[in-house]
């Protein structure tokens, strides 16, 4: 990695946060703080790893051969740029466009609130007693609300609230499979599938994690997650905290006390086939993170993300061999490494 990136990290770093990262690493490893600091700088130069990468991937426990297998912050940014033509990102990021283009995969009724007449919205609300309402162009569940129609005295009162919030999409509420709901009942516990298209446009699956809500949240983002076996649907390891800096490991869900490792998620093989087909709909976006819900009738896509976070698929409790995702990516997209990553 270029030394210019190291300089950029030093220039833009929050030294307070970097000091916190060094202290956390010291507490976890017992290693000397000064040595940690210089090793962080080395990893920034050599692997494009920021101090958060160093902390969450436990680089302090890895040798050079292991470290070079990780998708670090710098590599993640380059890979996203290499794979995705962001002039086409609106097809996934814009909720209206996404629901229309991927209608065959979302498996639920919806209405474009800002385009629909009041009578059309009323008919939709009479058909669906629970609504899941989304904001335009927002990701990770931001601005979403689950609304019970019966909680409003009149439709006019409900309609006024929907207008005030400026929702873009009203969706039929997803009823998830009982085996998934058992993990955590207050949110739709979705799986995140990471797919890539190779240079010939053929789709490949990189990874799956099962996400779970926590502590009363109605969404599953930044709560708990663990890898899922694509063939069996079995959750392979204990769960990790959604805030990857915390490094908290959960053998069981703290709210429902369901044991995580070994629990089986239904319809996973069907979900794999579904996202591989969906990955070809917008071939200009070759690298996508799909959020998929599991219903009693099978998997449905919630949304597609054009910028995939690099942290939650390479964490220490889920990588017992200390090997990151670069070897898997290289198998499907070798051209990315030509003259870019040695």
If one counts every other C-beta atom within 10 angstroms of the C-beta of residue 195, the result is: 23
Residue 142 is predicted with a pLDDT of 62
Residues in a beta bridge with 196? 204, 287
Domain spanning 83-95+177-328, CATH class: alpha beta
Residue 139 is predicted with a pLDDT of 54
Domain boundaries, the chain: 3-66, 83-95+177-328, 109-172
Residue 320 is predicted with a pLDDT of 95
Token pair of 121, please? Answer: 């919205």
Quick check: 158 pLDDT over 90? yes
Quick check: 189 pLDDT over 90? yes
Quick check: 325 pLDDT over 80? yes
Q: Are 176 and 294 in contact (CB under 8 A)?
A: yes
Q: Are 206 and 194 in contact (CB under 8 A)?
A: yes
Domain spanning 109-172, CATH class: alpha beta
Q: Are 322 and 218 in contact (CB under 8 A)?
A: no
Helix and strand counts by DSSP (H, E) for the chain: 14, 11
Domains 83-95+177-328 and 109-172 share a fold: no
Q: What is the pLDDT of residues 122-135, one digit of tens each?
A: 999 999 999 989 87
Highest mean pLDDT among 123-132, 198-207, 217-226: 198-207
pLDDT band at 292 (very low <50, low <70, confident <90, very high): very high
**Which segments of the chain does DSSP mark as H helices, in order?**
3-12, 15-29, 33-47, 51-56, 64-67, 73-83, 90-93, 95-101, 103-106, 118-127, 155-165, 178-181, 268-278, 326-332
Euclidean distance between CA atoms 223 and 31, whole angstroms: 30
């Amino acid at each position: 990695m270029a030394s210019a990136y190291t300089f950029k990290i030093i220039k833009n770093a929050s030294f307070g946060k970097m000091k916190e990262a060094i202290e956390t690493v010291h507490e976890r490893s017992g290693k000397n703080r000064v040595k940690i600091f210089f090793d962080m700088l080395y990893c920034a130069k050599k692997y494009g790893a920021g101090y958060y990468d160093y902390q969450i991937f436990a680089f302090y426990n890895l040798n050079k051969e292991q470290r070079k297998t990780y998708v670090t912050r710098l590599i993640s940014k380059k890979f996203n740029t290499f794979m995705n033509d962001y002039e086409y990102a609106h097809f996934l990021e814009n909720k209206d466009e996404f629901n229309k283009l991927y209608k065959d995969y979302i498996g639920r009724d919806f209405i474009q609130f800002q385009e629909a007449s009041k009578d059309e919205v009323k008919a939709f609300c009479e058909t669906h007693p629970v609504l899941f309402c989304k904001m335009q162009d927002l990701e990770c569940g931001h601005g979403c609300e689950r609304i019970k129609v019966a909680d409003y005295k009149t439709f006019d009162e409900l309609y006024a609230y929907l207008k005030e919030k400026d929702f873009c999409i009203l969706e039929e509420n997803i009823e998830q499979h009982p085996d998934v709901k058992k993990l955590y009942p207050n949110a739709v516990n979705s799986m995140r599938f990471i797919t890539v298209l190779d240079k010939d446009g053929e789709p490949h699956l990189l990874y799956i994690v099962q996400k779970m809500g926590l502590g009363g949240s109605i969404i599953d983002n930044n709560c708990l997650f663990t890898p899922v076996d694509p063939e069996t649907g079995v959750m392979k390891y204990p769960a990790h905290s959604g805030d990857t800096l915390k490094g908290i490991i959960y053998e069981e869900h703290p709210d429902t006390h369901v044991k995580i490792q070994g629990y089986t998620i239904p319809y996973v093989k069907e979900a794999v086939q579904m996202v591989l087909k969906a990955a070809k709909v917008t071939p200009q976006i070759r690298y996508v993170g799909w959020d998929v819900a599991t219903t009693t009738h099978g998997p449905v896509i919630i949304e597609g993300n054009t910028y995939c976070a690099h942290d939650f698929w390479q964490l220490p409790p889920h990588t017992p061999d200390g090997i990151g995702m670069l070897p898997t990516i290289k198998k499907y997209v070798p051209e990315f490494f030509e003259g870019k990553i040695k």
